[in-house]
Chains A and B, each alone.
Chain A
Amino acid sequence: MDLTLKIWRQENAKAKGKFETYKVKDISPDSSFLEMLDVLNQQLIEDNVAVPVCFDHDCREGICGMCGLYINGRPHGPDTAVTTCQLHMRKFNDGDTIVIEPWRAKPFPIIKDLVVDRSAFDKIIEAGGYVSVNTGGIPDANAIPIPKKDADISMDAAACIGCGACVASCKNASAMLFVAAKVSQFAHLPQGKVEAKDRVKNMIAKMDELGFGNCTNTGACEAECPKEISLTHIAKLNREFFAAKIL
C-alpha cells in the first residue's frame, strides 16, 4: 500500500506545532499501524530527511496503554475495540491520506510530536484508586466468597488500560470513564466497600482539580474505548458518588 501521512510535528511542549506531510510506499496490509510508522521513521533516518516522529508505545499488544494516536479524527483509529498498536493497515486502502495527531486535552499537555503527558491519570489513582491494605497479615484468599457475577463485572471494569482515549474523544475532556472503571471495579467487591465513599469523593475531586471536564453523557468515550469499558460503570460511579454525598 502507498500512503500519504499528515502528521502533527511539535518540537517540544513550548514550541508551536504544525502538520507535515510524508509519503510511505509498499506498506504490508498485515503490518500494524505502529510498524507502518516504524517504516516511515526508518526512511526519515536513513534518507536523512527529518528527525523521526516521536510516539509512545511499549507492549504493542494492546495492554500497557502506552500507545495512543488520534487517527483520522478518532482515538486509536477506525477499528473498534483495539488500541493503536493493534490497529492493522488492512483497515486502510491503498492511496489513502491518513491524518495523525496526538491526544488533545488540556490535562494531557504535548511533550513532543505525538507524545503527551498523561501523569494526571496517575494522580487520580493516587487520590484513592486502591484498597488500603499493607503487605502481609492477610486472611486466606478464599475466606470471603465473591459471587462470580460480581467478580466478572469487576473484571470488566478493571480491564481499563489507562490509555486516555476516553478523554481524547470527549468534547469536555472528561476523565469520567477512566475514573468510573476504577471506582466500579472496587464497588463490586467486598474488599472495596470499606473506603468506597472516600474513594469516589477523592478521585472525583482530583479529576476536577486537574482540569478534566464534566461528563455530559455524550457516550463518545464508550464508543472509542479500546477495552469497551461500558457507560454503565459511569452510572455506578454516579450512584456511589451521590451515596457518598448524602450520607
Chain B
Amino acid sequence: MATLNSKIPEGDISQKWTNYKAHQRLVNPANKRKLDVIVVGTGLAGASASASLAEMGFNVKAFCYQDSPRRAHSIAAQGGINAAKNYQNDGDSVYRLFYDTIKGGDYRAREANVHRLAEVSNSIIDQCVAQGVPFAREYGGLLDNRSFGGAQVSRTFYARGQTGQQLLLGAYSALMRQVNKKKVTLFTRHEMLNLVMVDGKARGIIARDMVTGKLTRHFAHAVVIASGGYGNAFFLSTNAMGSNGSAAWQIYKKGAYFANPAYVQIHPTCIPVHGSFQSKLTLMSESLRNDGRIWVPRKKEDAEAIRAGKLKPTQLAEEDRDYYLERRYPAFGNLVPRDVASRAAKERCDAGYGVGSGLAVYLDFADAINRLGKDVVEARYGNLFQMYEKIVDDNPYETPMMIYPAIHYTMGGIWVDYELMTTIPGLYAIGEANFSDHGANRLGASALMQGLADGYFVLPYTIQNYLSDEILTPRMTTKEKEFEEAENEITGKIDKLMNINGKMSVDSFHKKFGLQLWDFVGMARNKEGLEKALASFKELKESFWKDIKIPGKKDELNPELEKAGRVADFIEIGELMAKDALMREESCGGHFREEHQTEEGEAKRNDKDFMFVGAWEYKGEGQEPALHKEVLEYENIQVAQRNYKK
C-alpha cells in the first residue's frame, strides 16, 4: 500500500534542490532513446515538460483533447507570471517570493517545494525571453513588471493582458520543434480515459480518438498527468469549457492519492452571472486591482436605488462610497489575496450593499484615469476593457465595471512528492493537476510560474531518478492483458453511458449539480450544508445514471458523450470535495468554514489540529475513502496569522 513519503531532500532549505540535482541518478543519452514518456496535457505544464524531455532525448507522446496543443486552457491566463528577479530593485528575492507564497497559501503548502519554485522562477523568465515571448518592456528596453495581490513588490512579468497565451505559444513552439524532430508524437483530439498499470507501475494509458470514437492503447515507461484543474465541477467557472478533472480522477481510482480537494480558489474579479443560459464566467484579470478601486455604496438605500436603475454609480459622491478593502485592510488595500477579496465582496453583497443584480461590486478606474490619463490605462488594460465592453455592453472608461467572485482555480489535486511523483510509481502529476506549492490559496501570477517550473525545470530532472531504473524495461506491445482490461473497463463505461436513455441533457444536469456545489461547497461552508450536500450528491449520482440522455453514436465525434464522462467524474469529485471540507474543521485560504472565523469575520486557522495535507485514498466503489495526513513542518518561516491590515 502506498505511503506518504514526501522525499524531501536533506539539508538547508536553500540547498535542498541543488543537493538533489547533484545526487540524483541520470539517464545517459544512449538510454534516453530507449525510454518513452506519455504526457497528458499540452498546457504550460505539459507542453514545457514534453518539449524539455524530448530535447533531452526521451521519446514523448503528448495528448490533448483540443484540435491543437496551442489551445490548452493556459492560453486564457491574462495577468502575468511571477519571478524573483528584483529588476525593480524593490527588495524582492527568492526568499521573499518563497515567503509570500507560503503566507499567501495560509501555511498549508510544503516548504521545500515552494522554495524550489521560487528558486527556478528566474530561469523561467530567461527561457521565455529566449523563445521570443514578447513580454512588456519599458522605454529603456528592459522588462516591465506590475504588482499582484498578496505581494508588496512588483514581480509580475506580463505580455499585455495575454500572458498565458504568449507563454503557452512559447512552450507550444518548443514542442512543435520537437515534433518536427520526431521526438514528440502528438495525439490531438484524444482524451485519456484510463491508466494502465503493470506490476504496480504506470505503464500506459487508454485514450479515445474523439473523431472516430476508437479506443487506442499507448505504452510508456512513465506517465505524466498535466491535465489542469477541476474547477469546472461547478459548471460555471472561468475555466475553458472542456477543462475537466477526469484524468486526475481516473488515476485516483487506480491508487494515486487526491490531496486537499476542498481547496478551490474563488477569484474576486469576474464578470457577474447574468442569465441561466450562461455557459461560463469571464475573468477580469487581477492586474486590474493595481489601478482599479473596489467599492459598494455606503448606504443601503443608495445600493437599492442603483439596483432599481434609479441611480448611477457615477452620481454617487466620494463620501457615499465604501472602498471596503481599503477600509478593512489598509496595508494591502485592493491588493489583498484573492480569498480575502472574494469573501469581502460576498460579505458586502450578503449584507445588502451589492449592485447590479445584487451580487456585484464596482471596480472603478476613474481615479486611475485622472491620475495617469486614459492612454496609460488603455495601454495597460485595453484588451480587458474591450472584452468587458463586448460582453456587458457597457464602457468601463466611463462607468465602473461590475465584478463578482467566481470559481477559478483548484489548489487541491493529485498528491505528489518532492519529485512530483504520485503514490503510483512511474506516474507523475504537474501543473494545476497536482496539489503542490499553493497551499490553501494561490497568489495571482503563480500558477503560470508553477506550471512552467514543473515542466521546464523540475520534472525533466526528477523523472530521471525513476527512469534510470527502467532502461532495461522493454517496450510493451499493448496486447498484454493489462491493456486489454483497462480498455474493456472503458468500453463498459461508455456503453453504460450510451444506454442510459433518459431525458435530460448533460448540461442541464451539470448546471443543477454545479449550483448545489456552489451553494454548499463554495465560498462559505458549514457542517450542516456539507452534510446536506453529501446526501444530495448521492442522489444526484443515481439520477445521473438514470436520467441523462446522450444522442448520437459512440464511434463518432460526440461532444455529449465526452461531457457525460466528465460530469460523471465531477459528481464524484464534488463528493470528495465536500468530505474534505467537512473533515477540515478550520478556515484556511480558500476554504472558509463559517464555524471558524474571528469576530471580524476573518478566517481562523487551527494549526494545532490541521497543519497537514489531507490526502485521500480511494477504497473502491461505495466505500469510504481513507484519509492520510502529511504533516507540514515549517522550519524556515514563522507561522503566523495572516495579516493584510498592517
Chain A interface (Cβ within 8 Å of chain B)?
11-12, 27-28, 30-32, 34-35, 38-39, 41-42, 44-46, 51-52, 54, 56-66, 79, 81-82, 86, 88, 90, 111-112, 115, 117-119, 121-122, 125-127, 129-136, 138-142, 145-148, 151-152, 154-155, 158-159, 161-162, 185-186, 189, 191-192
Contacts and interface: CB of A to CB of B under 8 A. Distances in A.
Nearest to B140: A145
Contacts of A51: 551-552
A142 to B, nearest CB: 5
B560 A52 contact: yes
Given A38-B507, A56-B67, A140 B126 contact: yes
B423 interface: no
Given A46-B503, A66-B71, A162-B70, A191 B130 contact: yes
**A-side binding surface: helix, strand, loop or mixed?**
loop
Contacts of A112: 211, 556-557
Interface string B240-253: 11100000000000
B160 interface: yes
Number of chain B interface residues as a range: 35 or more
A102 to B, nearest CB: 13
A108 B558 CA distance: 20
A125 B176 contact: yes
Contact of B211 (A42, A58, A111, A127): A111
Interface in B362-398: 386-387, 390-391, 393
A82 B391 CA distance: 11
Contact of B131 (A42, A57, A115, A133): A133
Given A60-B240, A132-B177, A119 B559 contact: no
Contacts of B123: 136, 138
Contacts of B174: 130, 133, 135
B241 A57 contact: yes
A135 B51 contact: yes
5 contacts: A59-B75, A66-B67, A131-B130, A146-B137, A192-B132
B121 to A, nearest CB: 11
Contacts of A125: 70, 172-173, 176
B245 to A, nearest CB: 16
Contacts of B139: 148
B68 A39 contact: no
Given A51-B552, A61-B387, A147 B141 contact: yes
Contact of B391 (A52, A86, A111, A148): A86
Interface of B: 48, 51-52, 55, 66-73, 75-76, 85, 87, 123, 125-132, 134-143, 159-160, 162, 164-166, 169, 172-174, 176-177, 179-180, 186, 188, 211, 240-242, 274-275, 277-280, 282-283, 386-387, 390-391, 393, 456-457, 460, 503-505, 507-508, 549, 551-552, 556-557, 559-560
Most buried by B among A35, A63, A191: A63
A78 to B, nearest CB: 13
Contacts of A122: 68-70, 176, 179, 186, 188
Contact of A159 (B85, B141, B162, B552): B162
